[in-house]
């Protein structure tokens, strides 16, 4: 567990936060670090390593640099890209595949092996596909992926057009020797906005406002501030960090849980970072007013937020799930909501989608339900494809490091 100490008040403005550098003061016997925002000189900050993960905001002024390099200097290309696309033909979100960089070719796209049969037999590696683009629009991706790789052993790289890879994950996936990347970082900002809306939904009692409007009642009541409240984030990846950025601006305290807490030891947004484990999870749940579940769906995380974890929540606690439905024990949550052991829940993801009409969650007044669409802007999937076409694909062709590598064993 890493613990951070803020010396500044909640009025610490955004520009000051951006320039503050945290200094390690002490390592306690409980292995928790304490940092002070005022003590380390700015000039002594070490040079930051080149990030290996994409984020739409942080790369706003850097995107397409390798695509630009190819356009102005074609000799920068170290290898051509010959692409197979496991996707629904005509998917508008994949329109960028028709605007590939010089030296890249879309050989075929489809949702069955018949769509790729015209490429067989393979004449030589120089004409064989070496890149596989996989879209959630191909509903048989999990089944087809190992077949495609066996049929086309020339494939050197797989890219998934979503952040979650559960739609392709299988027993064979973990043993793949081919590198895999995903669209991590494309959907985080919208989900962070949803998170703060969900917090405000309960803090300002929006259901009461809607009832009063419907009944034409002018009834004043006390509301809560988010300032000073604690947000616990289960799964402190790109989505969790985006949530922390906005919550920090609201003046909330941030507790995070992640597999390797040392990664976040200099994170200016976090007050405490716990490692994974049931005890750490229960502790985070008990210390948080708002719990955000942004963990991916893996064999390790399925059912992680169980009855014990939910039972550790404060009576005024709110559970927000925007990662994957399988991370949460829905039956345990329903029991806690029905018995008013927690304040409420905001759910954008579910074990079964669409959520069945007979599911008890529909009948709970203290639940905000959205149909797994809180990252669904009109351009979100287009942008995910554009990241592949204009960022990672040129990197592959220029022999540069690919962004968003997936740990095939962990599943994210």
Tell me the catalytic residues. Answer: 324, 353, 372
Which residue, among 259, 263, 316, has the nearest Cα to 289 in the 3D structure? 316
Q: Which helix (H) or strand (E) holds 141?
A: helix 141-151
Q: Where are the beta strands (DSSP E) in 204-310?
A: 230-234, 253-257, 272-274, 290-293
CB burial string 183-197: b at 16+ within 10 A, e below: bbbbbbbbbbebbbe
Which residue, among 134, 128, 132, 71, has the nearest Cα to 103 in the 3D structure? 71
Distance of alpha carbon 77 from alpha carbon 104, whole angstroms: 10
Distance of alpha carbon 101 from alpha carbon 97, whole angstroms: 9
Assigned token pair, 331: 């039956």
**Residue positions counted in the chain:** 412
Give the strands of the sheet with 180-181, arranged side by side. Answer: 104-110, 81-86, 131-134, 157-160, 180-181
16: number of Cβ within 10 Å: 11
Half-sphere exposure at residue 178, Cβ-oriented, CA atoms within 13 angstroms:
22
State the sign of the Cα–Cα–Cα–Cα dihedral 28, 32, 36, 39.
Answer: positive
Our measurement of the distance from residue 24's CA atom to the centroid of its chain's CA atoms, rounded to an integer in Å, reads 29
Our measurement of the distance from residue 39's CA atom to the centroid of its chain's CA atoms, rounded to an integer in Å, reads 33
Residues forming a β-bridge with 216: none
Residues forming a β-bridge with 290: 231, 318
């Amino acid at each position: 567990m890493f613990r951070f100490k803020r010396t500044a008040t909640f009025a610490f403005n955004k520009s000051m936060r951006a320039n503050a550098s945290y200094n390690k003061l002490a390592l306690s016997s409980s292995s928790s670090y304490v940092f002070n925002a005022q003590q380390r000189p700015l000039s002594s900050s070490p040079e930051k390593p080149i990030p290996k993960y994409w984020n739409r905001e942080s790369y706003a002024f850097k995107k397409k640099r390798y695509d630009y390099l190819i356009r102005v200097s074609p000799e920068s290309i170290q290898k051509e890209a010959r692409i197979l696309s496991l996707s629904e033909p005509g998917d508008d979100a994949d329109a960028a595949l028709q605007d590939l960089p010089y030296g890249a070719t879309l050989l075929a796209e489809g949702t069955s092996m018949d769509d790729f049969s015209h490429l067989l037999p393979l004449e030589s590696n120089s004409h064989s596909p070496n890149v596989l683009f996989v879209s959630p629009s191909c509903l048989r991706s999990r089944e087809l992926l190992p077949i495609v790789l066996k049929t086309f052993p020339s494939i050197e790289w797989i890219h998934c057009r979503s952040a979650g890879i559960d739609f392709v994950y299988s027993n064979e996936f973990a043993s793949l020797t081919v590198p895999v990347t995903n669209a991590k970082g494309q959907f985080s900002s919208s989900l962070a906005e949803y998170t703060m809306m969900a917090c405000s939904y309960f803090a300002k009692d929006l259901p009461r406002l809607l009832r009063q409007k419907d009944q034409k009642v002018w009834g004043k009541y006390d509301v809560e501030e988010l300032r000073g409240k604690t947000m616990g984030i289960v799964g402190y990846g790109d989505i969790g960090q985006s949530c922390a950025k906005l919550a920090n601006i609201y003046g909330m305290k941030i507790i995070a849980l992640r597999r390797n807490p040392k990664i976040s030891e200099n994170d200016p947004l976090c007050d405490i970072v716990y490692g994974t484990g049931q005890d750490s999870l229960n502790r985070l749940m008990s210390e948080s007013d708002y719990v955000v579940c942004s963990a991916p769906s893996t064999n390790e995380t399925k059912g992680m937020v169980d009855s014990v974890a939910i039972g550790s929540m404060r009576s005024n606690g709110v559970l927000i799930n925007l990662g994957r439905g399988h991370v949460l024990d829905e039956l345990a949550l329903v029991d806690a909501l029905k018995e008013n052991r927690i304040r409420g829940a905001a759910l954008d993801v579910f074990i079964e989608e669409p959520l069945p009409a007979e599911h008890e969650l529909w009948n709970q007044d203290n639940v905000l339900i959205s149909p797994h669409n809180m990252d669904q802007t009109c351009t979100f999937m287009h942008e995910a494809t554009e990241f592949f076409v204009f960022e990672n694909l040129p990197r592959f062709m220029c022999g540069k490091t690919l962004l968003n590598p997936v740990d095939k064993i962990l599943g994210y």
